[in-house]
Amino acid sequence: MDIAIVGSTGLVGQELINILQQRRFPVTSIRLLASDRSAGKKLLVRGEPVVVQETSPQSFAGVDMAFFSAGSEVSHHFVPLAAKAGAVVIDNSATFRMEPWVPLVVPEINPDDLKGHRRIIANPNCSTIQMVMVLYPLHKVSPLKRVIVDTYQSVSGTGEAAMEELSQQTRTVLEGREATPHVYPHQIAFNLLPEIDVFFDNGYSREEWKMVQETRKIMHAQDLAISATCVRVPVYVGHSEAVHADFTQLMTVEAARDILAEAPGVKVLDDPDVSLYPHPWAAAGHDNVFVGRIRQDVSNPTGGLAMWIVADNLRKGAALNAVQIGETLIERGWV
Ligand SMILES: NC(=O)c1ccc[n+]([C@@H]2O[C@H](COP(=O)([O-])OP(=O)(O)OC[C@H]3O[C@@H](n4cnc5c(N)ncnc54)[C@H](OP(=O)(O)O)[C@@H]3O)[C@@H](O)[C@H]2O)c1
């Protein structure tokens, strides 16, 4: 396939390049696109330097599949142009996710939603992907009634500038000086910020609202009650989530562990006696979604489970899921 990557110089773009190679995606040619700031820069693809080009309306001629990870504004402008030029677009931004005609897909969960696509496919939000990867296999056995999730999201979810800000602020604070925030509204080093994206009139942030809406769309569970609190934490890579899930029928800890042990893309790490549970430092760089601390929720002993879910937000939360969507389209002959 002739591939284009928009946002190829960014954190997700870099992971896309790596993962396409690691998974031996059938690439005939690859066009690396970014803003005018990076035009002319060279990136290595399969050991060979490839020149980054500025994204323009002409960038998509002859492209079979375009991966977008350059933010909502870029997607808003260029995704329709790429689709019109004949490319199948897999978009990492939130721009098209809730359009009823746009498939919002986690391949382990709803691959059939790709059928009949109209050349624009949305990759879900990182926090949503890792949560539904664990909830959906359980939901198939005992339908979910209600989900409460609190997230602990790493700064790489905001992009490269946020990672640099965490490093700089950490140094500054350790040297006894005052840190000045640029990317976030407050200092992120040695701190937590319960603000991810803008706040809506109902008091939820856009990130929290994405988790509500996208979970329902991916799982085909429009009536699912769900509430989220999303928090940015001073971790470089890997999002963590404390999830409380209420099921219609009793779901024992043993049953949940058995179901999740069989779930594709999920790995159970759960032995509190030896401090075995997932954590972001260990999850970074891995493809699985990790789950542990699985326990009966004492506030709902007949149908509630509490658990701790961790994944690499740049891989399964973004680039890997996008590549898996591409693979599914190819396998099923839908591209
Ligand atoms: N990070 C995550 O965990 C995550 C997860 C899911 C989805 N996403 C989404 O993926 C996107 C990128 O995230 P990231 O973390 O990779 O950000 P990033 O590290 O800040 O990279 C941004 C990329 O977008 C490019 N870009 C910026 N303005 C552009 C323009 N006008 N035209 C073309 N390219 C432009 C940048 O190119 P230059 O180098 O030329 O500036 C760079 O390649 C965002 O939409 C984000 O919401 C991120």
**Which atom of ligand 1 lies at the shortest distance from residue 71's CA?**
45
197 lines ligand 1 (CB under 6 A): no
DSSP 1-46: -EEEEETTTSHHHHHHHHHHHHTT---SEEEEEE-TTTTT-EEEET
Q: Do 67 and 209 have their domain in common?
A: no
Q: Do 289 and 147 have their domain in common?
A: yes
Successive 10-residue mean pLDDT values, the chain, 335 residues: 98 98 97 98 95 98 98 98 98 98 98 98 98 98 98 98 98 98 98 98 98 98 98 98 97 97 98 98 98 97 96 98 98 97
Count the domains in the chain.
2
* Angle between helix 126-141 and helix 206-219 axes, rounded to 10 deg: 40
Run of H or E residues at 128: helix 126-141
130 lines ligand 1 (CB under 6 A): no
Give distance in angstroms: CA of 328 to centre of ligand 1: 24
Give distance in angstroms: CA of 293 to centre of ligand 1: 33
**Hey, what long-range contacts does 190-195 have (CB within 8 A, 24 or more apart)?**
190/234, 191/234, 192/231, 192/232, 192/233, 192/234, 193/231, 193/232, 194/229, 194/230, 194/231, 194/232, 195/232
Give distance in angstroms: CA of 174 to centre of ligand 1: 30
Of all protein residues, the one whose alpha carbon is nearest to atom 28 of ligand 1 is 35
Residue 200, pLDDT score:
98
Residue 30, pLDDT score:
97
Give distance in angstroms: CA of 223 to centre of ligand 1: 33
Q: Do 73 and 107 have their domain in common?
A: yes
Q: Do 78 and 148 have their domain in common?
A: no
Residue 135, pLDDT score:
98
**Which atom of ligand 1 lies at the shortest distance from residue 55's CA?**
33
Residue 22, pLDDT score:
97
Q: Do 261 and 162 have their domain in common?
A: yes
Residue 3, pLDDT score:
98
71 lines ligand 1 (CB under 6 A): yes
Q: Can you give the residue range of the structural domain that contains 252?
A: 128-313
H-state helical runs in 188-232: 206-219
Question: Distance between CA atoms of 170 and 182, rounded to whole angstroms?
Answer: 14
Q: Do 325 and 247 have their domain in common?
A: no
Q: Do 94 and 136 have their domain in common?
A: no
Q: Are 183 and 162 in contact (CB under 8 A)?
A: yes
**Which atom of ligand 1 lies at the shortest distance from residue 70's CA?**
24
- The pick from 6, 8, 12 for probing ligand 1's pocket by mutation, whose C-beta has the most ligand atoms within 8 angstroms, reads 12
Among the listed residues 112, 139, 121, the one whose alpha carbon sits nearest the alpha carbon of residue 223 = 139
Q: Do 210 and 79 have their domain in common?
A: no
Q: Do 305 and 327 have their domain in common?
A: no
Supply the DSSP symbol for 178. P
Q: Do 60 and 169 have their domain in common?
A: no
Q: Do 156 and 262 have their domain in common?
A: yes
Q: Do 83 and 26 have their domain in common?
A: yes
Question: Distance between CA atoms of 182 and 263, rounded to whole angstroms?
Answer: 41
Residues acting as catalytic residues: 126, 239
Give distance in angstroms: CA of 31 to centre of ligand 1: 16
321 lines ligand 1 (CB under 6 A): no
CATH code (residue 153): 3.30.360.10
- The pick from 15, 35, 236 for probing ligand 1's pocket by mutation, whose C-beta has the most ligand atoms within 8 angstroms, reads 35
CATH code (residue 40): 3.40.50.720
Among the listed residues 66, 245, 286, 82, the one whose alpha carbon sits nearest the alpha carbon of residue 149 = 245
Of all protein residues, the one whose alpha carbon is nearest to atom 41 of ligand 1 is 35
| Per-residue three-class SS string for 139-163 | HHHCCEEEEEEEEEECHHHHCHHHH
Of all protein residues, the one whose alpha carbon is nearest to atom 20 of ligand 1 is 159
Residue 27, pLDDT score:
96
